[in-house]
Structure 1
Amino acid sequence: MNMQWMRERSSSLLISLLFAAIIIVFALQFGPGSRGFTAERAEAGAVNGEAIHSGEWSFYYQQLFDSRQRFDPNFNNEKAEQFGLKQQALDQLIDKMLLSQEGERLGLAVSRAEVGRDIFKSPVFQVEGKFDKDLYTRMVNYYFKMSVSAYEEKHQEEMAGGRIAGLIQASPVVSETTAYDEWLLDNERVTLEFVKFAPAEADQGADVPETEAAAFADNQRDKIEKFYENHKSDYVKDEELRARHILIKVDKEATKKEQREAKEKAQKIADEAKADPTKFAALADQYGEDSTKGKGGDLGFFGRGRMVKEFEDPAFALEVGKVSDPIQTQFGWHVIYAEEKKPAVNKTVDDVRLEIARKLIALDRAKALAKREAEQFIEGVKGGKSFEDLVAELNAGLPADEKGEKAGEWKVESTGPFSRTSGSYIPRIGASDEIFKLAWDLTPEAPMPQRIFEVGDTFYAIRLKSHTKPTKDEFVGKKDAEIKRLQQQLASSAFEQWMKAVKERADIDLTASAKMLHETEGQPLSTSDDY
């Protein structure tokens, strides 16, 4: 039994497990809207005719927000929007509703008594270890904007849905033979050694005549457009700012006096920096209270959307060479120095077609040279020379600098061990079906295929370093754990496929605002930990 298809879907297995284990957990310290979520309507749509309550959606959002914030204390509403947290919460809620509905449809009955016992023993509805009816009523009414009877009916459906998940994920039978075969796939290891021949850092093709570049651009339009799309950030970019800053941190729990003192300190630093901006880096090293201390407060270049808005707006408003007054953010008080600005760039493919043509011509020349060097290397291997001898010969012809060091030296490198379950990816080389398939056929007696391999723009000569196969005796002590792991993978995969089928036939009707969220993917926001 081969389970490679399941590995290819491994990124979704955890989500499937979470679907099967969804339990509503309330948190007293948070309420609707406390994390930047305020639903405009009581309902966000319907799933097979059942209303999606905004209160539930809000609560799922808050749970995701809290989870993110545990790993990133600086996680805020702006980042939540960038990560598409509202969409994620809506997706989780829809999946939960579908699961509940299927449980009811399939008649997996849950009695009212079972519902009552489940709610009664839930610690979130307890005060000092005892169920508190008033607390229960307030939480259901406030968080979900539902009556107690409606909540209990929904909870009954959810428990039925949980039974579906349990049935689907009931441990499948995995034989010892299957477990051994899978364990062998995971634990058989090959390590390759290689010498790579990469194109020399291509110049910009400045020596390519315009007529040659124009002819290339006319004949290779697809290549020109592909290069442009792959390097679009070089040709279309927003304004960027290189800035330095000095942060005087203020604790979230700081008193008014402490906040005032921090602002006054920042103002004194700003006044000193304005008097002589050339001393800003030294002042940052002297007074800064974040990770840029010791680096002159340097934040490097950044575009809009990278920093919190309270910092970003005044930073971009500064003239180059100017120092700001103290700026307050959630981290404290900042003094900012605008060091350099790069204007926005918006070049079309037609604007840069000749520039790209020259680059591609130069790259083709560099690749041709690298390929010739690799082919000469393989000829040496065929002549009986070792990788080490051939590398030494190549390096002997390189010029040395005044310290005796040689730039761009060739060397014999190692991939490190990889298994059959790595797909076609080979460490330090990249994805190559050709090399990956061949690697398992190499032997100590015939370790070197006498040919070169091309991966991307780089050429490789390879040889076998080691091939280890674990024995069945080694498997004996790990048999039970391996069987359990495969059972969990099979169960989770089965549940994932079932949920996919349920969702495909479901009638999901979202309001306009919810649909817009659902169809728009959030993009990660890259920010520093300190601003």
Structure 2
Amino acid sequence: MINKFTGKFSYFILTFFIAAIIISFALTGFQGFGSSAGSVAKVDGEPITIREYNNIVNQELQRYAKIFGKDLTSQQIKQFRLKENALRNLVQQQLLANFAQDLGFASGKEEIKERIKGLDYFQTNGKFDVNKYKGLLAANQLTPATFEEMIKEEVALEKLQRTLTAPGVSEALAKDIVRFKNAGAKVHAVRFEKEEMTKYLDISKKEINEFLAEEKNQKLTKSLYESMSSEFNKPAQVKARHILLPVKEGEGDKEQKTKIEALRKRVSPKNFASIAKKESKGPSASKGGDLGWFSKGSMVPEFESVAFGLKPGQISKPVKTNFGWHIIYVEDKKKAVNKSFDSVKDVVAKRHLQKSKRKELKEFNDKLISDIEKAFEAGKLSRVKSLSKKYDLSLVTDADLSFYDQTAGTIKFNDETLAPILSDDMKKSVFVENNPIDVKVLKVLSKKSEADLAKLADKEIEQQKSALANQVAQETRFQLLKKLEEDASIVTYPNLL
């Protein structure tokens, strides 16, 4: 196997193979190594016994039972593919053990003997106990020769791990990554979507009248109005909070009514939210009883009839529903909106005409970008704020821009925008990212200095080295096992599982 492997597997994989490839027999439990009359699989002729397999499965069942607080059902065992994964882990363990042996990581008899003597299983009062050793092996249907072979396999795996992890990850590489993760700048940034600017394009009354003069445009506008009916026709709405005391099973209604009446005497518009947070037993309690805006038909009839009957700022008397007892506080109300087609057809037609003006939209957006750029370059943040308010732009000020996640506040930038900012000789301070859908304008106020980055803690660098090692290890282990599985003779007996 080793000749085939070294012929096809790169030195990089060997050098950085630092995954936790050793699946210690101590983890699988001492009893996991008993012999068995049957095997669930064979790897290059080496059997994986039913007993080994059952021990792994039982340990996984115990682990899941601790997580969920109860035993898994047969359906969950299938869902988590617990048995299949247990067998796969055992096959991979055997593949790695064979690979370690092929590399020549053998152990002498003295080394194996010292390893066995050091195991707690076989000690009495801190010393190796021969009788205990033989007794435990016999109880688990193991001979000393079989057990020594297992120890030999584990030592080989440990040596393989030490050899392959020796190069590690350089401190210079880890430091560079930590510096990059911490590098950044203090910025102002603006973002807007191009299509959203159509609503600010000028459309004259004459254009609207000429458009609506044609019958086909009248029909189109009517169709658009109907598709926008939720905007022009809205039911009355109430914004309210409530306190709920459910009537629990076995608890008298009178008792809860007494409690809710006592709460009603305590609440006022000023303290309603805080009392609701403490006393309400409903799902909205964490939000101070806030129910948001709702229209008729959203709540049970007893509740909504009271809510819609109150004026903003009023608090109801206790109200009984099938959910329990409520106190309702109405914060605001909206009247129903019913706008006829004739009353809004000019508005609908204007929006349609705005969207059809592609050239004008481009010119508008180009001018807006230019205005923001000039304001940033001149240091006139007030002008940028004014434009942002006028055109409803997203604006973040004095935000920390992380080069690592490419984000300043809620605005994310691409690599091309950040590349010149990352360079040591940044030649300007304002950058525009003009995408097909949106536009982002960035003003760099200051960058983290080399002195700031040089102060990075050694602990953070060590953590990065470890993280890098784990990342490389995971990928390397995957690639190695994939190659070993391709070259090995693996036979499984699923009917025995």
Specify the SS of the correspondent of 1:45: strand
2:369 aligns with: 378
Structure 2 length normalisation: TM-score?
Answer: 0.50
Deviates more, 1:491-500 or 1:502-511: 491-500
Residues in 2 aligned to 1:190 and 1:20: alpha-carbon distance in whole angstroms? 41
- Once the two structures are superposed, residues 267-315 of structure 1 have per-residue CA deviations (whole angstroms, 9 ceiling, x without a partner) of x954559x99x99xx9xxxxxxxxx996636599xxxxxxxxxxxxxxx
Structure 2 vs 1, CA of residues 433 and 209 (structure 1 numbering), >3 Å: closer, same or farther? farther
- Once the two structures are superposed, residues 442-497 of structure 1 have per-residue CA deviations (whole angstroms, 9 ceiling, x without a partner) of 9776211245346xx6542222233224249937985x995896599469837953
Give the aligned residue type for 2:164. I
Q: Does 1:448 align with 2:433?
A: no
Q: Does 1:25 align with 2:26?
A: yes
Deviation at 1:163, TM superposition (A): 1.0
Structure 2 vs 1, CA of residues 438 and 102 (structure 1 numbering), >3 Å: closer, same or farther? same
Contact 1:190 1:467 in 2 (8 A): yes
Residues in 2 aligned to 1:125 and 1:293: alpha-carbon distance in whole angstroms? 59
Of the candidates 281, 284, 305, which is equivalent to residue 296 of structure 1? Answer: 281
Residues in 2 aligned to 1:452 and 1:108: alpha-carbon distance in whole angstroms? 59
- Once the two structures are superposed, residues 167-214 of structure 1 have per-residue CA deviations (whole angstroms, 9 ceiling, x without a partner) of 1111359486x67655544543334432232587xxxxxx999999xx
Give the aligned residue type for 2:402. F
Of the candidates 434, 439, 445, which is equivalent to residue 416 of structure 2? Answer: 434
2:238 aligns with: none
Deviation at 1:390, TM superposition (A): 3.9
Specify the SS of the correspondent of 1:159: helix
Q: How does 1:124-203 map to 2 (within 5 A)?
A: 124-126=121-123, 129-131=126-128, 149-171=145-167, 174=170, 181=176, 184-197=179-192
Q: Does 1:104 align with 2:83?
A: no
Contact 1:193 1:415 in 2 (8 A): yes
Specify the SS of the correspondent of 2:106: coil
Of the candidates 411, 432, 446, which is equivalent to residue 395 of structure 2? Answer: 411
Gap regions ≥5 residues in structure 1: 1-11, 33-40, 201-206, 213-243, 247-267, 283-291, 301-336, 340-361, 399-407, 516-531
Aligned length: 348
Structure 2 vs 1, CA of residues 390 and 171 (structure 1 numbering), >3 Å: closer, same or farther? same
Residues in 2 aligned to 1:409 and 1:442: alpha-carbon distance in whole angstroms? 31
Residues in 2 aligned to 1:418 and 1:56: alpha-carbon distance in whole angstroms? 50
Q: Does 1:467 align with 2:447?
A: yes
- Once the two structures are superposed, residues 205-231 of structure 1 have per-residue CA deviations (whole angstroms, 9 ceiling, x without a partner) of xx999999xxxxxxxxxxxxxxxxxxx
Deviation at 1:109, TM superposition (A): 1.3
Q: CA RMSD in A?
A: 5.9
Q: Does 1:388 align with 2:388?
A: no
Q: Does 1:503 align with 2:482?
A: yes
Q: How does 1:72-87 map to 2 (within 5 A)?
A: 72=67, 74=69, 77=72, 84-86=81-83
Structure 2 vs 1, CA of residues 468 and 209 (structure 1 numbering), >3 Å: closer, same or farther? same
Deviation at 1:24, TM superposition (A): 2.6
Contact 1:193 1:462 in 2 (8 A): yes
Structure 1 length normalisation: TM-score?
Answer: 0.48
Gap regions ≥5 residues in structure 2: 1-12, 197-218, 225-243, 261-276, 286-321, 325-351
Residues in 2 aligned to 1:94 and 1:83: alpha-carbon distance in whole angstroms? 18
Deviation at 1:119, TM superposition (A): 2.8
Give the aligned residue type for 2:153. E
Residues in 2 aligned to 1:438 and 1:120: alpha-carbon distance in whole angstroms? 63
1:121 aligns with: 118
Contact 1:190 1:418 in 2 (8 A): yes
Larger Rg computed on CA atoms: 2
Q: How does 1:6-17 map to 2 (within 5 A)?
A: 17=18
Specify the SS of the correspondent of 2:402: coil
Specify the SS of the correspondent of 2:26: coil
Specify the SS of the correspondent of 2:444: strand
